[in-house]
Homo-oligomer: A and B are copies of this chain.
Amino acid sequence: MQTRRRLLEAACRVFAEKGFHAARVADICRRARTNVAAVNYHFGGKAALYVEAWRHAFSLAKPSVAQIPEDWPPEKRLRAFVEDLLRNLLDTEANRPFSRLYLMELIHPTGLVTHLWRELIEPRRRVLLRILADLLHTDPDDPRVLLCDLSVIGQCRAPYLMQTADLEYLLRSPLSPHMVRRLVDHITRFSLAGIRGMAAETAQERSPGGLSRPPSTGPFSGQDP
């Protein structure tokens, strides 16, 4: 139905902006130009709407990373990956749903989408680990790959951490498509240089201790719905 789709899109935007807890059902309904009862009619409640909004956001975003050709050189694949993560930065109208939705769930775990994690997020991460392993001429379980993963992801998420106005303040420049391209370019080059620096280092001092334990619990362990 029309209303249902409008609600989903509004929900993506509001949940992405505020997070599950701080998002107001009334806000979502105002943006969707509908009544609050519609949420409970179509979805059964705020929590269920949240889960559906996740699915909706991912249904728009998912294919791209998975479609990076595996025979591209790893440098090119890294750029494509970064580009994909930063794609949602603009679209202030359409929404910047996926990247920030995910970020919000990381910060305030609701426990509502744990089952979507392995289905939707883990495969993406595995793509990046593969790229990094290729760049470092090692395998994806190498501790250095995990650290580089954190570095790349951290850089890509940084712009989503703040309001657009604050990002523009930091960069001293309005957030245009051109600016996003420049960000992609920077993060890719910066990371490639960082990775090559690691590859050049002697591996001896980072071999023993620390980074070697198998995963214990799982992600999204917390919950406060």
Taking Cβ atoms with an 8 Å cutoff, the residues of A that contact B are 18-19, 21-22, 103-104, 106-109, 143, 146-151, 153-159, 161-163, 165-166, 168-174, 176, 178-179, 182-183, 186-187, 189-198, 201, 206, 209-222, 224
What B residues does A198 contact at CB under 8 A? 186, 189-190, 193
Shortest Cβ distance from residue A167 to the other chain B in the assembled complex, whole angstroms? 9
Interface of A: prevailing SS: helix
Task: Find out whether the CB atom of B206 lies under 8 angstroms from the CB atom of A197.
Answer: no
Residues of chain B contacted by A107 (CB below 8 angstroms): 19, 103-104, 107, 161-162
Which 10 A-B pairs give the minimum distances between C-beta atoms?
A193-B197, A154-B158, A190-B194, A194-B194, A165-B221, A154-B155, A147-B186, A154-B154, A173-B211, A193-B194
Question: How many copies, total?
Answer: 2
On whether the beta carbons of A171 and B193 are closer than 8 Å, the reply is: no
Find out whether the CB atom of A182 lies under 8 angstroms from the CB atom of B169: no
Residue in A103, A155, A159, A195 whose Cβ sees the most chain B Cβ within 10 Å: A155
| Cross-chain pairs A/B with CB under 8 angstroms, 17 sampled | A22-B224, A103-B107, A104-B107, A146-B172, A147-B190, A150-B155, A151-B158, A154-B157, A154-B158, A163-B221, A168-B216, A179-B210, A182-B210, A190-B194, A191-B194, A193-B194, A194-B194
